[in-house]
Amino acid sequence: MSAFPQADPERLWSTLQTMAALSEPGGGVTRLAYTRLERAAHEQFAAWMSDTGCEVRVDSAGNTIATRPGRNDGPAVGTGSHLDSVYHGGRFDGIAGTMAAVEVARLLHESGTVTELPLRFVAFAAEEGARFGQACCGSKLAAGLSARAELDERRDRDGISLADAMRSVGIDPDRAAASAWDPGEWSAFVELHVEQGSVLETARVDVGVVDLISGSTRIELTVLGQASHTGGTPMRGRADALAAAAEAVLIAERLALDPRHRGTRASVGRMVVEPGSITTIPGRVTFSLDVRDVDADRQRLAVAEIVARLRAACLRRGTRLEARLLADTSAVVLPDWVRNEVTAAATELALPYRVLTSGASHDAQMVNRVVPTAMIFVPSRHGLSHVPEEWTEPAQLAVGTDLLAASMLRLDARAAMLAAESATTGGAA
């Protein structure tokens, strides 16, 4: 492979900082799914990609797709990630991958490199589940995995449906299914992302290659008790919804720590207590449960066991439990052959790497249903993510971007070779 220019850490940092500024006030970055701020980020991404000579379009789900033509038409190699954030999150989650995509496009443009087949650079909409409880909305629609009814059912904490949020930014939910990708138009996809764990930092390795992405089951749980006066109600006569919910949190933690569930992660990240008065026993508590695992059977078993134990605890406390499934995704094994091209590129660049599993959900997990996909990780300092302290050194992001570019060029060459062989075979027949 001929020499290709290296990514510029300072330019990557500047680009990333521009995106970080598109945030609601307060600590960290808040740029929620299907809001004006998220769309502003997509518009900035589109402008940068247009400057590199790409043809840019926004699909019917709100995903922004930039295409750089190759010498010939044919199935494209793609890359990208997302631009939305959680509440008060960091500046790298999702953005690292989209800014790496921008940098690769710039390097191709500046060096005059022309690939054999097209390349595509994607900014997915609404990857984070923070607002609606459903992760990877844009990429699920691209993969043809979302039903129209889900867009009306998913609601944020203000009661706004996912469909109405889409309408508020000019996206028609009735047309969202038209964003589904045609597998014949893609040859491979590679997503760069921050690790959101500490494996790479501990190993002092700048890049990781993902073999497996964990599944996730998300449930909204509501404990119904009896609100009453804190002074007038005896301790043994209470139906305290918060006490039951507090026990529920520990039940989930204990199960995930059980050796039988080694590898399971169970978390409660949000809790709403009603009526929320210092002198009133809580009568209603609504909270989230997020269970993740690389083993789909163990994941579902853990959820079933946790809910069963919660029901028993609530019954014992004179309260009642209601459960509503928000999302359920199985673990995904990424195809060996795409990963092998990425590791071969790392070897060519003399980059040490680690093969590791992702505990988080990603757009790659969804689009892998229609296009063979790989993931590249770059280190997260102290393993922190979804918090303002999230950090990856610009130099590490540049190394990951170099690996991304090299991987895309290898995958393009492979796709072109297979296309030529197919044409020859077809001609001989």
- Rg of the chain, C-alpha, whole Å: 23
Are 248 and 397 within one domain?
A: no
The DSSP annotation for 309-368 comes to HHHHHHHHTT-EEEEEEEEEE--EEPPHHHHHHHHHHHHHTT--EEEEEE-S--HHHHHT
Are 62 and 103 within one domain?
A: yes
Are 247 and 388 within one domain?
A: no
Under the banding of pLDDT at 50, 70 and 90, the label for residue 426 is low
What average pLDDT score do residues 261-274 get? 94
Residue 4 resides in a domain = no
Residue 1 resides in a domain = no
Phi and psi torsions of 322, nearest 5° = -120, 140
Which of 329, 347, 372 delimits the end of a domain?
Answer: 329
CB 332 within 8 A of CB 212: yes
CB 376 within 8 A of CB 193: yes
Are 186 and 64 within one domain?
A: yes
Kindly state the DSSP code that residue 295 receives in the 8-state scheme. Answer: S
Are 315 and 200 within one domain?
A: no
Task: Give the number of other CB atoms < 10 A from CB of residue 375.
Answer: 29
The domain in which residue 348 lies consists of 9-214+332-428
Are 85 and 167 within one domain?
A: yes
Are 341 and 384 within one domain?
A: yes
Helix, strand, or coil here: 106? helix
Task: Give the number of other CB atoms < 10 A from CB of residue 277.
Answer: 12
Q: pLDDT tens digits for 62-115? A: 999 999 999 999 999 999 999 999 999 999 999 999 999 999 999 999 999 999
Are 198 and 246 within one domain?
A: no
- 227 or 261, greater pLDDT: 227
For residue 75, what is the domain's CATH number? 3.40.630.10
User: What is the C-alpha separation between 80 and 65, in angstroms, rounded?
Assistant: 9
Closest of 105, 122, 123 to residue 114, by C-alpha: 105
What average pLDDT score do residues 326-337 get? 93
Residue 2 resides in a domain = no
The DSSP annotation for 374-392 comes to EEEEE--GGG--SSTT---
Under the banding of pLDDT at 50, 70 and 90, the label for residue 425 is confident
Count, residues in the chain:
429
CB 165 within 8 A of CB 34: yes
Q: pLDDT tens digits for 334-387? A: 999 999 999 999 999 999 999 999 988 899 999 999 999 999 999 999 999 999
pLDDT at 423 over 90: no
Which of 329, 350, 381 delimits the end of a domain?
Answer: 329
- 3 or 253, greater pLDDT: 253
Residue 203 resides in a domain = yes
User: What is the C-alpha separation between 81 and 242, in angstroms, rounded?
Assistant: 38
Are 27 and 49 within one domain?
A: yes
**Strand-pair category, 207-213 with 215-224:** unpaired
For residue 276, what is the domain's CATH number? 3.30.70.360
Please give the pLDDT value at position 39: 98
Region of 212 (left: φ > 0; alpha: ψ -120 to 50; beta: rest) is: beta
Residue 395 resides in a domain = yes
